[in-house]
């Protein structure tokens, strides 16, 4: 199969309030591409729309959410044209997702083995016994010791790190092509985080998985990802190869984010933060959403929202400065 | 878990103690207890005799002492009307009340749980409105009126069902529905809100992300979790049903402990009244304890 | 499910209760009407509710065969006019219901505030007490008390208040526990206000909303309990008219098919309780959608 694994073109997702009065443009005109086996990091503050973007890909939005325009092409197929039944077969089997809180993600009343075996039985039609033994193999693959005993335990009997691995095991159980991880390490201890990230990377290589990593942590992106997409106010403000963007960010927001990370050997005595607060998605500023906080703001930014400009090969930026 | 059980047990003992004290105090402290404890139509001498017998001139703690010792011995007094020990009378009637309460509970769950689930799954749509109306009606119509209306309709107009007494399944239908009606509404409400909460949980979200069919998500993942609070409530409600069945049993002349209470009031048979209330309250405390323990058994989070 | 059907039902629901949109007009109108009827009963009722003409027993309502315009809604087993009894019965239900709810609310709120704010042993004592009383179902407890003190309107009010204050105390105490932590209360403490002043001026106004909502919701329950007590014979004593008592009398004519003696009083009870519940629900959402525990 040639061509990229996933192509998103001009995707817009809105949340409409119950009486149709408030429209929140959670995802606004987002375009990105992902090759098979590659890793894309989606970075942004809370409210930037990154989770909504992920939910849109799998079409598991809450009732108030609506995909209003755009295309999502996965393995050459348009996901937005698919019926609910077809999407259901894709979820878990071809595209999998990991959520942030591993404790809440696992059903407290069922054993770990049951929950891992479940998608295998539903998607591959496996028998109970073969699914169960596959579950044990998966536990081994995510480096959980004594899988034969663990498989019979309940979620509350395991530590946070183990639970997140189990969620990972569930995700890869049906050999998906794409794994979306929404802040998977945020609720883990720092010491466990590194182990978990290594595990993800190894699984990715072993199964030729494409990975979309949603996070607000630039350090993780630097470690794990080939490409990065920066979101602000529902829009993709900069995207491109990690090395390029980290060395020479084109968008003032990206630059500010990178500068706010303290570094050893830094001669500055004060931490720099970005002035102001992230915008309320329901009440975005006009023009470029970042203009109230931008150190390089021009009159044009207040009036018109900039389109995507191509800065270099595969590197785009939504800023009038790059135009 | 053992510690949990022991603690709950201790708590129940305290509750039972406080219950007995409350009942005791109310009788001794309001008005003249001798009048209550003596048969209707007694003379002044009889009143004096009763005062002696129950030691009503002695200090309260002493009175309570003898009160609680007789209770623990199983002596709940003698019925004026039936001339038998009250405990015996109560226990002979209890199975009928349990049967009625059981049938009413089945009715309330069979109607309440599915309605609640559908209302939650189809939240804010047609079926949810129906459910809300049903719940509201259930809570606004007194159970005995529902019973009376049913008698009017099914016994008098249609002649399908017997209007009173017990003995056959047909006799059970109307009282069970009348009694279970209010609880059906309550169970429906709780099932709905519990289900809504569960449907919004992370593990249900993940189940959908796994690509499981919606039917499986609801029946396997959501259902069992949502049911826990409902069954807890149902367990407690069963005993409450036995207690509040007094009006329904009176309407249908059902020979249970509720009707016994009514007879106690109607015939001014105070030992019966006191004992029924005491035993009813004690049953509630005990069932609460059992439900809590059962909860610990079912929910693996508490077990380990 | 086609949209027109669901739209109609939702519209009907909205009209009946004006849910969260606006004020629940119909339920409030019903309550106000019943209150007015209760106040002006003497002027409205065509007959004396307690005296009956034995020759006119068991007359059906005017629109049925055998009925007459003399007795619009028929008569009962003693020849008493049902309409008059319903009107005067409204008075009894309203008096008993409102008074019991207000008294219970007052006691429960005060004790709830004291218990929640002062804490420690006061809290423990009050809470153990409410726990015990809550363990007994209200109806059983009320019957028990009525058996001890005997039936009369005053006694019923006292009994109902005594049984139902515990619910208020529980809820208000919970509210107080959270209000206690708010900054303006802490400021008052720092400023040296006495405990009683704080409870009166700062805590009370903030929990009054919950008390009102709970009161409205309790009204329905209290009315039903009073009806049950009267039905069993330990509530309002005859010959005074009370809807519950009318149902008890109505049972006598039930097997003969004298439906109006059962359907009419029961419908009054149901309308009152339904209206109180709808009003209470609307108040609850209006004041604070978070008050789910009510």
The per-residue DSSP string of C50-93 comes to T---GGGTTPPPTTSTT--TTSTT-B-TTS-BHHHHHHHHHHHH
For residue B55, is pLDDT > 80?
A: no
Element holding C278 (H helix, E strand)? helix C260-287
Q: What is the pLDDT of residue B72?
A: 83
Judging contact as 3 or more Cβ pairs under 8 Å, the answer for A and C is: no
The per-residue DSSP string of B80-145 comes to TTT-SBHHHHHHHHHHHHHHHHHHHHHHHHHHHHHHHHHHHHTTTSHHHHHHHHHHHHHHHS-HHH
Which band of pLDDT confidence, cut at 50, 70 and 90, is reported for residue C20?
very low
Q: Which of residues 234-263 of B touch C (CB under 8 A)?
A: 240, 243-244, 246-247, 250-251, 261-262
Interface test with B, best of C17, C135, C273 (most B CBs within 10 A): C135
Q: Do B277 and C228 touch (CB under 8 A)?
A: no
Kindly report which listed range (A176-190, C57-71, C215-229, C247-261) carries the lowest average pLDDT score: C57-71
- Tens-level pLDDT at each residue, chain A (323 residues): 567 889 999 999 988 877 777 788 888 889 999 998 899 999 988 878 888 999 899 888 887 888 889 999 998 888 888 888 888 888 888 999 988 888 788 888 888 888 898 888 888 888 888 988 889 889 888 888 888 888 888 888 888 888 888 988 888 888 899 999 988 888 788 888 888 888 888 888 888 899 999 988 888 888 889 999 999 888 898 999 999 888 888 888 888 888 877 776 666 666 677 777 778 877 788 888 888 888 888 888 888 888 888 888 888 888 888 77
Q: Do C131 and B15 touch (CB under 8 A)?
A: yes
A96 has which bridge partners? A179
Of C81, C74, C87, C73, the residue nearest C52 (C-alpha): C81
Alpha helices in chain A (DSSP H): 50-58, 84-90, 102-105, 112-124, 128-141, 147-150, 160-172, 190-207, 218-224, 242-247, 252-259, 299-303
For residue C293, is pLDDT > 60?
A: no
For residue B296, is pLDDT > 90?
A: no
Contacts with C231 from chain B: Cβ below 8 Å: 144, 247, 250
Q: Which of residues 102-121 of B touch C (CB under 8 A)?
A: none
Report pLDDT digits (tens) over B179-205: 998 899 889 888 988 888 888 888 888
Q: What is the pLDDT of residue B74?
A: 79
Burial pattern C224-255, b for ≥16 Cβ within 10 A else e, equals: bbbbbbbbbbbbbbeebbbbbbbbbbbbebbe
Report pLDDT digits (tens) over C185-208: 878 888 878 878 878 888 888 888
Distance CA A285, CA A279 (A): 8
Q: What is the pLDDT of residue B301?
A: 65
Map residue C199 onto helix, strand or coil: helix
Assess whether the previous peptide bond of C239 is cis (omega < 30° from 0): yes
Q: Residue A201 class from Cβ within 10 Å (0-12 exposed, 13-18 middle, 19+ buried)?
A: middle
Residue, of B276 and B303, whose pLDDT is higher = B276
Which residues, at least 6 apart from A2, have a Cβ–Cβ distance to it below 8 Å? none
Place of tokens 């020979």: B255
Map residue A180 onto helix, strand or coil: strand
- Please measure the distance between the N-terminal and C-terminal CA atoms of chain C and give it in whole angstroms: 33
Distance CA B230, CA B295 (A): 12
Distance CA C245, CA B128 (A): 36
Q: What is the pLDDT of residue A269?
A: 67
DSSP summary character for residue C291: -
Nearest to B221 among A96, A99, A107 (CB): A107
Contacts with B147 from chain C: Cβ below 8 Å: none
Q: Do B148 and C278 touch (CB under 8 A)?
A: no
CB C16 within 8 A of CB C22: no
Nearest to A99 among B205, B225, B304 (CB): B205
pTM over 0.90: no
CB A113 within 8 A of CB A158: no
Q: What is the pLDDT of residue A211?
A: 93
Q: Do B209 and A157 touch (CB under 8 A)?
A: no
Distance CA C192, CA C154 (A): 43
ipTM: 0.83
Element holding C16 (H helix, E strand)? helix C3-17
For residue C292, is pLDDT > 70?
A: no
Contacts with C148 from chain B: Cβ below 8 Å: 26-27, 30-31, 36
Of C225, C113, C220, the residue nearest C159 (C-alpha): C225
For residue C18, is pLDDT > 70?
A: no
Find the closest chain B residue to A172 by CA distance. B210
For residue C175, is pLDDT > 50?
A: yes
Distance CA C219, CA C100 (A): 9
Which residues, at least 6 apart from B283, have a Cβ–Cβ distance to it below 8 Å? B239, B242, B243
Which residues, at least 6 apart from C289, have a Cβ–Cβ distance to it below 8 Å? none
Distance CA A40, CA A25 (A): 23
Kindly report which listed range (A139-153, B159-173, B279-293, C259-273) carries the lowest average pLDDT score: B159-173
Nearest to B149 among C128, C136, C262 (CB): C262
Q: Do B209 and A60 touch (CB under 8 A)?
A: yes
What is the count of residue pairs from B and C with beta carbons less than 8 Å apart? 146
Q: Do B205 and A105 touch (CB under 8 A)?
A: yes
Interface test with A, best of B201, B203, B218, B295 (most A CBs within 10 A): B203
Distance from CA of A306 to the nearest CA of B (A): 35
DSSP summary character for residue A15: E
Q: Residue A142 class from Cβ within 10 Å (0-12 exposed, 13-18 middle, 19+ buried)?
A: buried
Q: Do C144 and B243 touch (CB under 8 A)?
A: no
- Helices and strands in chain C, H and E counts: 12, 0
Q: Do A154 and B301 touch (CB under 8 A)?
A: yes
Instruction: Report strand pairing: A178-182 vs A210-215.
Output: parallel
CB A68 within 8 A of CB A14: yes
The whole-chain average pLDDT of chain C stands at 81
Report pLDDT digits (tens) over C79-102: 888 888 888 888 888 899 999 999
For residue C150, is pLDDT > 70?
A: yes
Contacts with C151 from chain B: Cβ below 8 Å: none
Mean pLDDT for the stretch of residues C256-279? 88
Kindly report which listed range (B28-42, B100-114, C28-42) carries the lowest average pLDDT score: B28-42
CB A168 within 8 A of CB A203: yes
CB A314 within 8 A of CB A241: yes
Contacts with C146 from chain B: Cβ below 8 Å: 265
CB C268 within 8 A of CB C260: no
Mean pLDDT for the stretch of residues B236-243? 87
Kindly report which listed range (A112-116, B76-80, C80-84, C275-279) carries the lowest average pLDDT score: B76-80
Mean pLDDT for the stretch of residues C26-37? 86
CB A286 within 8 A of CB A303: yes
Q: What is the pLDDT of residue A178?
A: 92
The whole-chain average pLDDT of chain B stands at 83
Give the length of chain C.
294
Q: What are the structure tokens assigned to B153, written together?
A: 């309709």
For residue C22, is pLDDT > 70?
A: no
């Amino acid at each position: 199969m040639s061509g990229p694994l996933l192509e998103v073109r001009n995707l817009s997702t809105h949340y409409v309030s119950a009486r149709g009065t408030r429209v929140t443009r959670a995802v606004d005109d987002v375009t990105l591409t992902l090759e098979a086996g590659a890793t894309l990091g989606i970075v942004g503050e809370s409210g930037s729309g990154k989770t909504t973007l992920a939910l849109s890909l799998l079409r598991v939005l809450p009732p108030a959410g609506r995909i209003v325009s755009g295309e999502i092409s996965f393995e050459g197929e348009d996901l937005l044209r698919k019926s609910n039944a077809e999407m259901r077969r894709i979820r878990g089997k071809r595209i999998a997702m990991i959520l942030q809180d591993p404790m809440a993600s696992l059903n407290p009343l069922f054993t770990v083995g049951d929950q891992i075996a479940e998608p295998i039985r539903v998607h591959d039609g496996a028998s109970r016994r073969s699914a169960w033994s596959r579950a044990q193999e998966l536990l081994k693959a995510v480096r959980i010791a004594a899988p034969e005993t663990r498989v019979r335990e309940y979620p509350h009997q395991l530590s946070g790190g183990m639970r997140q691995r189990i969620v990972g095991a569930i995700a890869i159980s049906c050999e998906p092509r794409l794994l979306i991880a929404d802040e998977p390490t945020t609720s883990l201890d720092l010491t466990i985080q590194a182990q978990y990230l290594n595990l993800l990377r190894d699984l990715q290589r072993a199964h030729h998985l494409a990975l979309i990593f949603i996070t607000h942590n630039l350090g993780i992106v630097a470690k794990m990802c080939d490409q990065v997409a920066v979101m602000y106010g529902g829009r993709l403000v900069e995207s491109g190869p990690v090395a390029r963007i980290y060395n020479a960010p084109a968008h003032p927001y990206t630059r500010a984010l990178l500068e706010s990370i303290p570094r050893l050997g830094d001669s500055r005595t004060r931490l720099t933060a970005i002035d102001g607060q992230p915008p309320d998605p329901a009440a975005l500023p006009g023009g470029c959403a970042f203009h109230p906080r931008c150190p390089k703001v021009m009159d044009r930014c207040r009036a018109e929202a900039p389109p995507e400009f191509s800065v270099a090969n595969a590197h785009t930026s939504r800023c009038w400065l790059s135009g | 878990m053992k510690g949990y059980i022991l603690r709950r047990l201790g708590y129940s003992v305290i509750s039972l103690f406080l219950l007995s004290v409350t009942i005791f105090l109310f009788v001794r402290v309001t008005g003249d207890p001798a009048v209550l404890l003596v048969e209707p139509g007694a003379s002044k001498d009889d009143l004096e005799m009763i005062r002696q017998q129950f030691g009503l001139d002695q200090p309260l703690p002493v009175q309570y002492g003898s009160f609680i010792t007789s209770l623990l011995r199983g002596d709940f007094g003698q019925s004026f009307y039936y001339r038998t020990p009250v405990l015996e009378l109560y226990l002979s009637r209890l199975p009928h009340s349990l049967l009625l309460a059981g049938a009413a509970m089945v009715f309330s769950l069979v109607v309440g749980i599915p309605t609640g689930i559908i209302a939650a799954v189809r939240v804010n749509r047609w079926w949810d409105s129906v459910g809300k109306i049903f719940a509201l009606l259930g809570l606004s119509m007194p159970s005995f009126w529902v019973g009376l209306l049913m008698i009017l309709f099914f016994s008098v107009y249609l002649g399908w069902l017997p209007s009173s007494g017990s003995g056959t399944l047909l006799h059970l239908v109307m009282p069970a529905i009348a009694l279970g009606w209010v609880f059906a509404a309550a169970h429906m409400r709780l099932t709905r809100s519990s289900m809504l909460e569960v449907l919004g949980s992370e593990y249900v979200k993940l189940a959908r992300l796994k690509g499981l069919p919606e039917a499986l998500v609801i029946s396997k993942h959501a259902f069992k979790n949502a049911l826990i609070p409902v069954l807890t409530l149902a367990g407690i409600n069963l005993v409450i049903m036995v207690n509040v069945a007094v009006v329904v049993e009176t309407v249908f002349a059902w020979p249970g402990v509720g009707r016994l209470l009514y007879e106690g009031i109607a015939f001014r048979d105070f030992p019966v009244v006191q004992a029924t209330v005491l035993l009813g309250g004690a049953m509630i405390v005990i069932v609460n304890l059992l439900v809590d323990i059962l909860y610990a058994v079912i929910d693996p989070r508490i077990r380990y | 499910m086609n949209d027109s059907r669901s739209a109609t039902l939702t519209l009907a629901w909205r009209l009946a209760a004006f849910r969260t949109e606006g004020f629940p007009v119909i339920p409030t109108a019903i309550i106000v009407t019943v209150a007015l009827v209760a106040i002006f009963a003497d002027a409205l009722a065509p007959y004396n509710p307690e005296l009956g003409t034995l020759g006119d027993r068991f007359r059906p309502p005017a629109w049925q065969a055998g009925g007459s315009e003399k007795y619009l809604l028929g008569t009962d087993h003693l020849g008493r006019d049902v309409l008059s009894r319903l009107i005067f019965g409204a008075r009894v239900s309203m008096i008993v219901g409102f008074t019991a709810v207000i008294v219970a609310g007052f006691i429960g709120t005060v004790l709830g505030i004291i218990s929640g704010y002062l804490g420690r042993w006061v809290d423990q004592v009050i809470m153990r007490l409410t726990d015990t009383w809550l363990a007994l179902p209200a109806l059983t407890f009320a019957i028990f008390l009525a058996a001890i003190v005997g039936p009369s309107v005053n006694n019923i009010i006292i009994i109902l208040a005594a049984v139902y204050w515990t619910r208020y105390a529980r809820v208000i105490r919970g509210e107080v526990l959270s209000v206690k932590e708010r900054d303006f209360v802490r400021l008052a403490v720092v400023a040296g206000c006495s405990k009683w002043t704080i409870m009166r001026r700062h805590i009370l106004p903030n929990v009054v909303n919950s008390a009102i909502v709970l009161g409205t919701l309790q009204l329905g329950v209290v009315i039903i309990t009073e009806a049950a007590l009267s039905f069993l014979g330990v509530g309002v004593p005859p010959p005074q008219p009370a809807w519950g008592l009318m149902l008890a009398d109505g049972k006598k004519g039930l097997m003969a098919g004298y439906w109006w003696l059962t359907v009419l009083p029961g419908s009054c009870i149901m309308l009152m309780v339904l209206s109180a519940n709808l009003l209470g629900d609307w108040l609850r959402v209006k004041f604070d959608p978070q008050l789910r525990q009510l």
